[in-house]
A and B are shown apart, each in its own frame.
Chain A
């Protein structure tokens, strides 16, 4: 299943949802965008990207559709569904709470 060892568990799903929330795009573009925005910090391999996308699709959070791209190629374009948007809000919320909690702990001054 899609459990990239190099990513915090579960965050890949959230990242993908976020990327697709901006605009519908195909798998290759998603992988490019992922690399661009996160730099080299979050390394999601192509090998885990596709199973993750398929999983999100099966969950009903994103939907796929075959379209002809700007270069005249047929490609599978993913876009966020209403369910996916709700899921993204939930996960982003969770993430916000988790990260602020962690940073509060980390910033504790040693006595």
Chain B
């Protein structure tokens, strides 16, 4: 039935839609024909022609009404009406360019810029590694509540237990990082090497760029000396040799065959490695020290349909069984984390939430603005709608007309927003490219469609609701009274103006809160960058050196090498001071177990741990860590003298409360089964961060490197001017001692920790952009409401001027209104921002919310000055009101 029905009706609808003129002509003809016949009939009954014609017309009812009803029967009439409304709307838009552009600008900023900034920030914060389907890859990290470890790597025992478990995951792989010297290709260098289970690349779903990855089905023995190299290493060390596959490289004296090159972007997946070599972690007989070493990063891919929770429960069951059976696993529990959770810091998550909040804030402000503007315009068009209603326009018809107009605004605003968001993302992409990783990241950024749709929908609903509101309320009005005297209009206008004032006050309050939140975040970011490091990375050059054990078998030869190197480097022109250290701060140095006091004897697993730094005497001078008490190390602290150490402030406070730690003893353990070394505390150093983004102070212990020499050290030198100018002389000094010695990355310390810093600066900039948009929108809002008030009060201003008010009085009157709104909004906003600052501060870092008070002083100043500027323009217009014109106009 239905298809046949459509067969008839669709052509009819199309005809009435596209042949409207013809259909109307036919309708005219038909009715005229009817009238003629009817007239003839009446005349035949004996009426005069005039009378007959009149009767015929009466019978037909109003001709125009009947025609309209016939047109309504066509069902598509509303489309034509709608087109007409759209044309009318366009005309209105052209006639009010100020209003139209303000609405479109507001929508553009509210939707477009908002989603652009959100897109970039979100993409930056929640970046995903370049692997296949990262959402189903998880990391298994280990936590130990009693040792306050949250996300530690696993041991080989734990990995093997998990892999041996009953098909726990689709695939499970482990990765162990190491630094090994690479020789035989130009300058010897120390490279990051990852030992991975052969299924690692399959699990991640990343194929080699050239050659192949490891074969999971092959035995360890079959591929033991195969290696896969990174794109960077291939480019840098092997000169992008296309025939590299099958050639060999030498790592720590062992020859490996290159079987594959990974793609360029793979370096952004987790830690950038130069070489991957296979390791099953189970074929070699593990010594207890090896199997308990906590250095395996476990990756797993969930089975299709397997939930994180499910995986978590199963994993924990296995780890718990392990912990029951072996004392070294006691207290450790497993956490199965999504890659996003595992790789993203806690602070980042808060930043993302904050960001979502900001989007909603700016959106609210934009919507309040649009709503306010439509309300004002409605008040101005009251008479128009009353006239329309009086002429017989139905309520639905009025709604339809306003809907068409609002839709136009929404469409233009939406189109502008789309342009703006696209442009904004492009602009921000350029800003985001401050290092290779973010440049790669920014290339992938596209406008976040879900946020765009969310902001778009919200704004459109606001536009449509407030655009149509007049038609919803107008039919309630007594048409008579509004059309008659002006009294009705004015009281209505006052109500509208109060509502509008309310919107502006709310807007200003939101802006104040936004500026407060932004200011606080920026301050926190800055204080994080500056104060929290605890050292000064400016003007410091770092270089990693790893001495091969074949050449430097004893600790004495190692120490001698570094001592000689330091002497040479200190003699270089431009070097202020130089030192070696096993780790630089923020690189998460190895843990050093210790016992405070000489008489305490704790079980190995109960010993507290500290960040261990093995340094040469000048280390504190080079990276400017203040010595708070006692003395720094000196050349006399040698392998032969008393064992000494310097502890940080946190350790001193925590383990030596109410006593002077200087002169006290502390016992350190290089490993769980190593003998204790009793060390006298000679100094207390200020805290530094152990790793980027660290928010709480942890104990740290410094030991002279001569008393605990190591083969891998980092040379740090403080330099006059640009530290990188010393790279070449520094390398030359190394090779002057040993021409085969590999040197790791030589870079400025700011560069080492820089990516994080510039990321924070970038985020702070984005927050500021959000706040500026909010401020801009609020300024538009104030301007709109004050201009509207002036328009409403033209008559009153005219009377005042006629009665002798000076231009200055009028100016003050108008300006006062703007400032009053700004002040009220500020007061409300301040109350809100006080709460917000505390939330932001306590969410991020517990102690620094007081900084926000400064922001609380600045925010109102910014907003009130914006209000003054916004009110000045309409105030000047009011000043120029000609009383004669104003009064006659009424």
Q: Which residues of A contact B (CB under 8 A)?
A: 1-2, 26-28, 31, 45-48, 50-51, 54-55, 57-60, 63, 66, 73-76, 81, 83
Contact = CB atoms under 8 A, between A and B. Distances in A.
B61 A47 contact: yes
A27 B12 contact: no
Contacts of B9: 58-60
A81 B9 CA distance: 12
B66 A83 contact: no
Nearest to A57: B12
A8 B66 CA distance: 20
A41 to B, nearest CB: 18
15 contacts: A1-B73, A27-B34, A45-B61, A46-B61, A47-B60, A47-B61, A50-B31, A50-B60, A55-B73, A57-B73, A58-B73, A58-B74, A60-B8, A75-B30, A76-B30
A65 B30 CA distance: 11
Interface string B509-538: 000000000000000000000000000000
Contacts of A60: 5, 7-9, 12
B72 interface: yes
A27 B61 CA distance: 15
Given A28-B38, A83-B5, A51 B72 contact: yes
Nearest to B71: A54
B69 interface: yes
Nearest to B72: A1
A83 B4 CA distance: 8
A48 B66 CA distance: 8
B73 A28 contact: no
B310 interface: no
A46 B55 CA distance: 11
A76 B37 contact: no
Interface in B1-32: 4-5, 7-9, 12-13, 16, 26-27, 29-31
Nearest to B74: A58
Interface centre among A2, A58, A75, A76 (most CB of B within 10 A): A58
Contacts of A81: 8
Given A2-B69, A27-B30, A54-B27, 19 more contacts: A2-B73, A28-B33, A28-B38, A31-B34, A45-B61, A46-B61, A47-B62, A51-B69, A51-B72, A54-B70, A57-B12, A58-B9, A58-B12, A58-B13, A59-B9, A60-B5, A60-B12, A66-B26, A74-B33
B263 to A, nearest CB: 63
A45 B59 contact: yes
Contacts of B37: 28
B75 interface: yes
A84 B391 CA distance: 38
B580 to A, nearest CB: 92
Interface centre among B26, B37, B61 (most CB of A within 10 A): B37
A58 B13 CA distance: 8
B69 A76 contact: no
B8 A75 contact: no
A60 B6 CA distance: 8
A36 to B, nearest CB: 13
A76 B59 contact: no
Q: Would you list the 7 A-B pairs with minimal beta carbon distance, nearest first?
A: A47-B61, A60-B8, A54-B73, A51-B69, A55-B73, A28-B37, A54-B70
Contacts of A2: 69, 73
A75 B33 contact: yes
A54 B61 contact: no
A12 to B, nearest CB: 13
B30 A50 contact: yes
B interface, size bucket: 20 to 34
Contacts of B4: 83
A28 B34 CA distance: 5
Contacts of A50: 30-31, 34, 60, 66, 69-70
B74 A46 contact: no
A31 to B, nearest CB: 8
Interface string B29-47: 1110110011000000000
A60 B69 CA distance: 18
Contact of B75 (A51, A58, A66, A73): A58
A38 B16 CA distance: 33
B379 to A, nearest CB: 35
Contact of A51 (B12, B13, B59, B70): B70
B367 to A, nearest CB: 38
Given A2-B69, A81-B8, A83-B8, A54 B59 contact: no
Contacts of B72: 1, 51
Interface centre among A2, A50, A66 (most CB of B within 10 A): A50
A2 B5 CA distance: 21
Interface in B46-80: 59-62, 65-66, 69-70, 72-75
A75 to B, nearest CB: 5
Contacts of B5: 60, 83
A46 B67 CA distance: 12
Nearest to B9: A60
A56 to B, nearest CB: 9
A55 B69 CA distance: 9
A2 B65 CA distance: 12
Contacts of B61: 45-48
B38 A46 contact: yes
Nearest to B4: A83
Contact of B33 (A55, A58, A73): A73
A60 B7 CA distance: 9
A22 to B, nearest CB: 19
A49 to B, nearest CB: 9
Nearest to A66: B26
Contacts of B69: 1-2, 50-51
Contacts of A58: 9, 12-13, 16, 73-75
Contacts of A31: 34
Nearest to B61: A47
A47 B34 contact: no
A104 B868 CA distance: 82
Contact of A54 (B29, B65, B74): B74
A2 B61 CA distance: 13
Contacts of A74: 29, 33
Contacts of B59: 45-47
Contacts of A83: 4-5, 8
A21 B821 CA distance: 73
Nearest to B67: A50
Contacts of B75: 58
B796 to A, nearest CB: 48
Contacts of B16: 58
Contacts of A28: 33-34, 37-38
Contacts of B60: 45-47, 50
Interface centre among B8, B9, B29, B60 (most CB of A within 10 A): B8
Given A57-B12, A74-B29, A75-B33, A47 B66 contact: yes
A66 B62 CA distance: 24
Interface centre among B5, B13, B33, B73 (most CB of A within 10 A): B73
A61 B219 CA distance: 81
A47 to B, nearest CB: 3
A88 B70 CA distance: 22
B627 to A, nearest CB: 94
B29 A76 contact: yes
Interface string B590-630: 00000000000000000000000000000000000000000
Contacts of B70: 50-51, 54
Contacts of A26: 33
B26 A76 contact: yes
A81 B12 CA distance: 14
A95 B33 CA distance: 33
Nearest to A61: B8
Contacts of A63: 8
Interface centre among B7, B26, B33, B34 (most CB of A within 10 A): B34
Contacts of B65: 47
A65 B708 CA distance: 108
A31 B56 CA distance: 12
